């Protein structure tokens, strides 16, 4: 059996705080948090978990959980304020110290270069819908790679480009909060191009020990009923959620049906000569973030096939059954199904689960801050079993990282939703492992 990594994951803006220290400039999330109504409770990442100042204590906490890997992200506006020009040594030094602290504790660092905190200046210049952002990303990636690649072997370019493109530029519930369908399609292509450019440049400077990849959030898209309309809606959802990323990355083409759908609404991926060769640069590991599977209907609540703008309806109807505090269905069987499908449709690509976890309404039971989160423990247990089931059936899965190390800033939900296996008291910044963390530690030992 190949070695299996056990880890915990976080991201920069969700935990670091210290948004104006050591030369960091604002990201699109700092800006978005100031928009009235954009984030629950008017919350922001100014302090978050204060990880920037408590990093050594947090690494000791990670070590106490018995994991061998820690997945974190690097904040672009810390390393290269404004998103262009020279490196900011004071900002990069934080990740240098973090890397050393992890290695000294026997924990393997797993770096994600982009987990949504785009420098605001690059958004002002057009953001991801602007082709130049892809080239800026590759330049930034090299600044980090040059500094850390002597100690960091695992490199992820992007976290969940679907969220950046779709939630950020089409739906508008994530930063930068734009609502422009065609801009989101351009963002998809430029995110993928940025991934490819960065991968090519890092690979040119890498040794055989380095491993590169991208993390996608994926689910399963089933038709709500067997009707033609629902099957069509599921096809569209699967295309927009999964195939428009994995087909260009692995096959060097956008899926024909999705290109036709986009043409029918008068838009297209802004592909230039050579782009797909760059995007399909081989990489070593696909990061899989899984939270739930979905069902889709091709009609609205009144039975109409087209929405107000005349576009086909693709309506997310959540499967029946238990839900998390996010309202997300709990569907571990679909996790197994997704992993086997990836193994079948995109062969030869090792998988690592880079995120999986759940928010529940935790209750602190004593003065130490302890939380008996049976629900989260069950979620983790069922989903780890689902991963191991897919592995037993032949999927090449190399690791599992729980989301998240600790409660943190959950984007548009602010601090109201807690995903941590460690409880954070935001008043005192005290960290207390929950029952799920103790279970995870004991499970890894076994």
> Which of residues 410, 420, 431, 437 is near ligand FCB by CB under 6 A?
410
Task: Verify binding: residue 419, ligand FCB, rule CB under 6 A.
Answer: yes
Q: How far apart are CA 8 and CA 32, in angstroms?
A: 27
Query: Distance between CA atoms of 445 and 370, rounded to whole angstroms?
Result: 22
CA distance linking residue 209 with residue 197, whole number of Å = 20
**Binding of residue 72 to ligand FCB (CB under 6 A):** no
Give the one residue of 154, 217, 336, 356 binding ligand FCB; rule: CB under 6 A: 217
Q: Is 362 in the site for ligand FCB (CB under 6 A)?
A: no
3-state SS, residue 100: helix
CB 297 within 8 A of CB 229: yes
| Stretch binding ligand FCB (CB under 6 A), from 158-166, 172-180, 242-250, 315-323 | 158-166
Residue 403 touching ligand FCB (CB under 6 A) = yes
CA distance 195 to 201: 10
CB atoms within 10 A of CB 333: 12
Question: Does the protein bind ligand FCB through residue 355 (CB under 6 A)?
Answer: yes
8 Å CB contact between 110 and 151: no
228 is catalytic: no
Catalytic residue of the set 160, 284, 301, 367: 160
Element containing residue 108 per DSSP (H, E) = strand 108-114
Catalytic member of 16, 123, 232, 355: 355
Q: Does 375 bind ligand FCB (CB under 6 A)?
A: no
Reduced to 3 states (helix: H, G, I; strand: E, B; else coil), residue 101 is helix
Asked if residue 407 binds ligand FCB (CB under 6 A), the reply is no
Instruction: Report if residue 261 touches ligand FCB, rule: CB under 6 A.
Output: no
- Close Cβ partners of 266 (under 8 Å, ≥ 6 residues apart): none
Has 123 been annotated as catalytic?
no
Q: Shortest gap between Cβ of 410 and ligand FCB (angstroms)?
A: 5
Q: Which of 140, 147, 144, 21 is nearest to 85 (CA)?
A: 140
Q: Which 42-71 residues touch ligand FCB, going by CB under 6 A?
A: none
Q: How far is the CB of 355 from ligand FCB (least distance, A)?
A: 6
Active site residues: 160, 355
Residue ranges binding ligand FCB (CB under 6 A): 11, 14, 159-160, 163, 217, 289, 355, 403, 410-411, 419
């Amino acid at each position: 059996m190949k070695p299996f990594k056990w880890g915990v994951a976080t991201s920069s803006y969700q935990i670091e705080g210290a948004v104006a220290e050591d030369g960091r400039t604002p990201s699109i999330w700092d800006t978005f948090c100031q928009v009235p109504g954009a984030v629950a409770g008017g919350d922001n990442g100014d302090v978050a978990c204060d990880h920037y100042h408590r990093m050594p204590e947090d690494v000791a906490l990670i070590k106490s959980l018995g994991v061998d890997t820690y997945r974190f992200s690097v904040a672009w506006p810390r390393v290269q304020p404004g998103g262009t020009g020279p490196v900011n040594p004071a900002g990069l030094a934080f990740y240098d110290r973090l890397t050393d602290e992890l290695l000294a504790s026997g924990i393997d660092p797993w770096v994600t270069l982009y987990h949504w905190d785009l420098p605001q200046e690059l958004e002002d210049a057009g953001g991801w819908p602007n082709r130049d952002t892809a080239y800026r990303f590759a330049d930034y990636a090299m600044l980090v790679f040059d500094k850390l690649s002597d100690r960091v072997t695992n490199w992820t370019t992007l976290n969940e480009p679907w969220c950046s493109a779709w939630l950020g530029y089409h739906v508008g519930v994530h930063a930068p909060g734009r609502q422009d369908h065609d801009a989101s399609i351009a963002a998809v292509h430029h995110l993928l191009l940025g991934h490819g450019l960065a991968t090519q440049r890092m690979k040119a400077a890498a040794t055989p020990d380095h491993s590169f990849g991208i993390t996608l959030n994926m689910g399963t898209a089933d038709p709500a009923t067997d009707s033609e309309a629902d099957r069509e809606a599921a096809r569209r959802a699967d295309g927009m959620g999964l195939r428009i990323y994995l087909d260009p990355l692995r096959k060097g083409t956008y899926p024909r049906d999705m290109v036709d759908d986009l043409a029918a609404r008068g838009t297209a991926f802004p592909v230039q000569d050579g782009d797909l060769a760059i995007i399909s640069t081989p990489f070593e590991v696909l990061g899989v973030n899984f939270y739930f599977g979905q069902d889709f209907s091709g009609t609205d609540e009144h039975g109409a096939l087209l929405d107000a703008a005349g576009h086909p309806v693709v309506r997310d109807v959540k499967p029946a059954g238990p839900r998390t505090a996010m309202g997300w269905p709990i569907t571990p069987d679909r996790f197994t199904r997704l992993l086997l499908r990836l193994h079948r449709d995109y062969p030869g690509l090792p998988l690592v689960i880079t995120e999986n976890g759940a928010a529940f309404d935790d209750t602190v039971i004593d003065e130490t801050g302890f939380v008996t989160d049976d629900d989260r423990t069950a979620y983790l247990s069922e989903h780890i079993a689902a991963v191991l089931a897919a592995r037993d059936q032949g999927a090449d899965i190399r690791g599992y990282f729980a989301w998240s190390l600790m409660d943190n800033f959950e984007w548009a939900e602010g601090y109201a939703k807690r995903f941590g296996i460690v409880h954070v008291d935001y008043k005192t910044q005290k960290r207390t492992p929950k029952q799920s963390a103790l279970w995870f530690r004991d499970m890894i030992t076994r």
